[in-house]
Structure 1
Amino acid sequence: MLTPVDRRAAEALAWLEPHAAAMAELVVELVGLDTENPPGRGLGRFARSLEGTMEALGCSPEIVEVASHAALEDPCVVIGSVGDGAGTIYFHGHFDVVPAQSRDQFRPVRAGRTITGRGSADMKGGLVSMLYGAIAARELGLLEDRRVVLHFVCDEETGGHAGSGHLRDHELIDSGALAMVTAEPTAPVVWSACRGAITMRVHVRGREAHVGQAHRGINAFEHATRIAEPLHRLAAELRERQTAIPMDDDDAAGSMLVVGGQARAGANFNVVPGEAWFSLDLRFNPEEELDAMLGLLRRTVEEAAAEIGADVTIDVLQAEPAAVTDVESPTALALARSIEAVEGTPAPFVLSPGNVDIRFYAQRGIPAFAYGPGRLDVSHGPNERVSEDALLRCAAVYAVFAGAVGS
């Protein structure tokens, strides 16, 4: 005998099926708009295109301009809504994409019910599933006394401060909301927790000198490499700090520190480098505290610098805490039931390997999850792709969840 959730899933799938081609065509159109970040190009153009689509679908869109940030071109947030009930459910997504391996990735290919191109999985395909999931919930009368608020942001790939940070800092996230879900490429799991993130730049100053008088200089690069040595040891120690939260990849259960993901030194090959810098990027597990991790990195750098007499400054580019949502909460159970009703199998709740936008909502006490049609193993790669069938099923999950949460 079908349960109410099973019936809603069947109704959502039946409603969405005739719209499958339009959904796929919209993904192709959006993937073809270059929103590569960095540097963050074409963001305003994409937002205006999305605004037109949302207007046609009856999503009451509004483009909110945000403060200038780094090299982002026309940074903005697109906000829309479906339904007019008191209970708010946030459908959240980002429209910036990581740099492409080839410009051909912005000429999407649709073949064999698969769409290939930069951002198809992460996460323009997910944006389309969210749009159609919200519309399906409205047209099928699933929302009742709820409404879906759509938050589409411009800079998740570079930290989220201009987009999701703007929503947080300008009180555009209602702490009384019922739930949030973002369309990260998680299939077939749900991310109910994410790591914290710290990004630093370590600057080392020396003194330039001609190579023929190298003894007159102070080699900033040499100092930088010696400061990096204890940080490499720290990275190995942090990998041994295992999270208790389930993960897709058990080998990735430790906190992860990358030393020197970016680095630069000197003016020329025949000059003692008078300055050098390198980056630190830490993704730490929810068991760790943000302030403690900041202090650990600072102490490691400062003690190494003091030992060799190096002149060092540290710039903190990003410092965000981890976030966790209780997987036994009624909201999590509603999402689990919605996914199982559509997909036929349960979806495990796991820790995201990175730092994603659920944190901006979880920090305000909102149950927050990442679940999307794309797959992480192809995202950011040269053959990024998304299944048209997954787009449709994920839209059905969003529709059913919108009708189940808080009821």
Structure 2
Amino acid sequence: MSTPETPHTSPATSPQTPSHPSAATPGEWERLILAELDRRAPELLELAGDLIRIPSENPAGDCSAIAAFTAGWLNEHGIEAQLHTVDDVPNAGPGRVNVVARLSPEHLLAEAPRHLALAGHYDVVPIGDAERWDFPPLAGDVVDGYLRGRGASDMKAGLAGQMLTMVVLRDLGVPLAGPITFAAVCDEETGGVTGSPWVLDHGLLDSVTGAVIAEPAERGFPTIGQKGLNKLRITIDGTPGHGSLQPLHGTSANLLAARAALALQKLWELEAEPPESVRPLIADSIDYAEARTGDEPGAYRPGISRVFSHVTVNIGTLHGGTGVNVVADRAVLEVDTRIPIGLRRADVNARVVELLAGAGVHVTDERAAAVAGGHTPNARLEIAAQASEANWTDPADPIVVDLVGALREVVGPEAKGVLQWASSDARFFRAHGIPVLQYGPAELPCVHGFNERCKVTDVVDTAKVFALTAVRYLGLA
């Protein structure tokens, strides 16, 4: 591994650490922790590099090797970690393994008032064409101030920061007033159920009162809410015939699918009415998004912030027909819609049925109940099981206040929580009643792309934010 550049040292680390840590004030503890993270920055980067070098692409999703490494590293450093192999989900696939570890100081009462979870996923998107990378995709090295390789931003560097944070708090003997549970999971990148949903459903985080997921975020801007996820599959039946007789004979499922795709664009016109309490968060998110527009290649264009108030519609796949000279007897349309705060999935899907009917596509829903308005159904509408409503964490929740406060000290005073237009495992935490936000080191333009990398300074600073958040959220005994 290349020698990293000297990482950024926040001003908070400059005063001398207390000579008697057991009698230290909260401020002295924080300075001690930050100084220790600076001292162990090379160890942090080495750990992140080790994680990157372990293949964990999803698909196929086999995370057995990286799970074993993660649990082994924690156990070697005094944090008890357990492997949880998913064997109760049909067709889960091989290597669906999660790691759960606990830092619970001996002095704690049986039931502490607060319990923090540090969480993330170690599966990554596929590398793609390795020839199009400028360096080995699993390099895990540091060059010119950047940690490089698949997962550097999404999100193995963030996981490494959480892991070292746990170890540093333990090694220093910080008298936390509550426990920390670390959860590293598989199966996030394909939206599967064997990662965070499985961990939550099996009660492994039941007593958690606040959580931080190390998802990639822009420096200083954690995400505290997201749009609803609503993926549709529409199977349309036509009447086959000889292609030479179209449109006089037969009904083309492909033509119906094309009309359906165009009709569904009108979902954009639905108006969201968000609650008053969340409108300041939406306003901050609009300002955040518009401040990042520009004319350079790859930049967002002005107006991108409308994503927070509209239903987006992506016709992801469209397959149909059996041959060019045959009127298509069936077409399948897969559609990704994201729903803003202030609209419900039920209302959006009711509008989907109306728009499809206007295009000549009369559907039955996934329970086979006719909703075709008196027409003979010629299509079936299925809604993905992992759908979710728009969800967010109250900006005034202590976990948000404490992490944003830490960010303002480590990164800069402009830090604030914003919304994301994508979705993530945070929705599962909120569904289980756990306030959660997302923050991790990242070079956002390269997430899921070639040449993924992350600034060394961001990796180290994010670990500091995790540590400060843990101390402030849990308090000291």
TM-score by structure 1 length?
Answer: 0.89
Moved more, 59-68 or 397-406: 59-68
Is 1:55 the counterpart of 2:75? The answer is yes
Given that residues 137 and 402 in structure 1 are in contact (C-alpha distance below 8 angstroms), is that contact kept between their aligned partners in structure 2? no
Shift, 1:121, TM fit: 0.2
What is the aligned partner in structure 1 of residue 104 from structure 2? Answer: 83
Residues 264 and 286 (structure 1), Cα distance of their counterparts in 2 relative to 1, 3 Å cut: same
In structure 1, the residue matched to 2:252 is: 219
Change (3 A) 1:144 1:9: closer
Indicate yes or no: 2:399 matched with 1:331: yes
What are the ranges of 5 or more consecutive residues in structure 2 without an aligned counterpart?
1-10, 16-24, 131-135, 291-303, 363-371
Which stretch shifts more, 64-73 or 102-111?
Answer: 64-73
- Tell me if 1:181 matches 2:236: no
AA partner of residue 315 (structure 1): E
Query: Is residue 2:36 matched to residue 1:15?
Result: yes
Shift of 1:324: 1.5
Q: Which residue of 2 aligns with 1:111?
A: 143
Matching residue of 1:124: 156
Task: Quote the residue 1:30 is aligned against.
Answer: 51
1:150-299 aligned at under 5 Å gives the runs: 150-174=182-206, 176-188=207-219, 189-212=221-244, 216-235=249-268, 237-238=269-270, 244=279, 245=282, 246-247=284-285, 248-250=288-290, 251-252=304-305, 253-299=308-354
1:316 pairs with 2:397: no
Residue matched to 2:127: 100
SS at match of 1:365: coil
The whole-number CA distance in structure 1 between the counterparts of 2:266 and 2:144 is: 48
Larger radius of gyration: 2
| Amino acid corresponding to residue 441 of structure 2 in structure 1 | P
Distance 1:255 1:63 in 2: 41
Q: 2:434 maps to which residue?
A: 366
**How far apart, in 2, do the equivalents of 1:303 and 1:172 lie?**
47
Deviation string, structure 1 residues 91-143 (Cα, Å, up to 9, x no partner): 11011112333334234442123112221101011110110112222233335
Q: Deviations over 1:267-297 (max 9, x none)?
A: 2333322211111112222222233333333
Aligned AA for 1:376?
L
> Deviation per CA, 1:294-328, whole angstroms, max 9, x where unpaired?
33334433453139976111121131122221112
> How far apart are residue 223 of structure 1 and its match?
1.0
Q: Is the 8 A contact 1:142 1:399 kept in 2?
A: no
The residue identity in structure 2 corresponding to 1:347 is: A
Matched-pair contact (CA < 8 Å) for 2:61–2:186: no
Distance in 2, Cα, partners of 1:357 & 1:22: 28
Question: What is the rounded CA distance, in whole Å, between the counterparts of 2:354 and 2:197 in structure 1?
Answer: 28
Letter in 1 for 2:380: T
Deviation at 1:9, TM superposition (A): 4.0
Q: For residues 96 and 256 of structure 1, what CA distance do their matches in structure 2 show?
A: 29
* TM-aligned CA distance change 1:33 to 1:265, over 3 Å: farther
> In structure 1, what is the Cα distance between the partners aligned to 2:176 and 2:314?
51
1:405 aligns with 2:405: no
- How many equivalent pairs are there? 404
* Residues 222, 390 of structure 1: alpha-carbon distance in 2 compared, 3 angstrom cutoff: same
Structure 2 CA distance for aligned equivalents of residues 345 and 8 of structure 1:
22
Amino acid at match of 2:57: E
**Cα deviation, residue 195, structure 1:** 1.5
Instruction: Please state if 1:388 is matched with 2:456.
Output: yes
- Equivalent in the alignment of 1:42: 62
Higher helix residue share: 1
CA 16–406 in structure 1, closer or farther in 2 if over 3 Å, else same:
closer
What is the rounded CA distance, in whole Å, between the counterparts of 2:342 and 2:29 in structure 1? Answer: 38
Name whichever of 120-129 and 93-102 sits farther off. 93-102
Query: Aligned equivalents of 1:141 and 1:390: distance in 2?
Result: 26
Asked if 1 retains the 8 angstrom alpha-carbon contact of 2:267 and 2:348, the reply is no
The C-alpha deviation readout for 1:52-106, integer Å capped at 9, x for no partner, is: 2222222211121224466743212211112244342101101111233333423
TM-superposition CA deviations, 1:172-209 (whole Å, max 9, x none): 332x4231000011132111112211111111122344
In 1, Cα distance between the equivalents of 2:191 and 2:270? 22
Write out per-residue CA displacement over residues 22-50 of structure 1, whole angstroms, 9 at most, x where no aligned residue.
2212222222222222x233322221222
Deviation at 1:162, TM superposition (A): 2.1
Measure the CA separation in 1 of the matches of 2:60 and 2:270: 32
1: CA distance, partners of 2:345 / 2:29:
41
Return the alpha-carbon distance in structure 2 between the equivalents of residues 111 and 99 of structure 1.
22
* AA at the equivalent of 1:76: V
Measured at CA, do residues 143 and 361 of structure 1 come closer, stay the same or move farther in structure 2, by a change above 3 Å? farther
Task: Provide closer, same or farther for how the CA distance between residues 372 and 6 of structure 1 changes in structure 2, counting only shifts above 3 A.
Answer: farther
**Whole-angstrom CA distance in 2 between matches of 1:312 and 1:283:** 22
**RMSD between aligned residues:** 2.7
Q: 1:366 to 1:76 in 2, by over 3 A?
A: same
2:85 to 46, 65, 73: 65
Q: Can you list the C-alpha shifts for 1:223-280, whole angstroms capped at 9, x where unaligned?
A: 1111122101223x25887883222314232334233212211223333222111111
Conservation of the 8 A alpha-carbon contact between 1:200 and 1:316: yes
Aligned to 1:350: 418
Whole-Å Cα distance in 2 between the matches of residues 343 and 7 of structure 1? 20
Partners of 1:259 and 1:278 within 8 A in 2: no
Worse-matched range after superposition: 25-34 or 243-252: 243-252
TM-score (norm 2): 0.77
Q: Is the 8 A contact 1:325 1:367 kept in 2?
A: yes
CA distance in 2, matches of 1:312, 1:269: 22
Cα gap change, 1:35/1:88 in structure 2, threshold over 3 Å: closer, same or farther? same
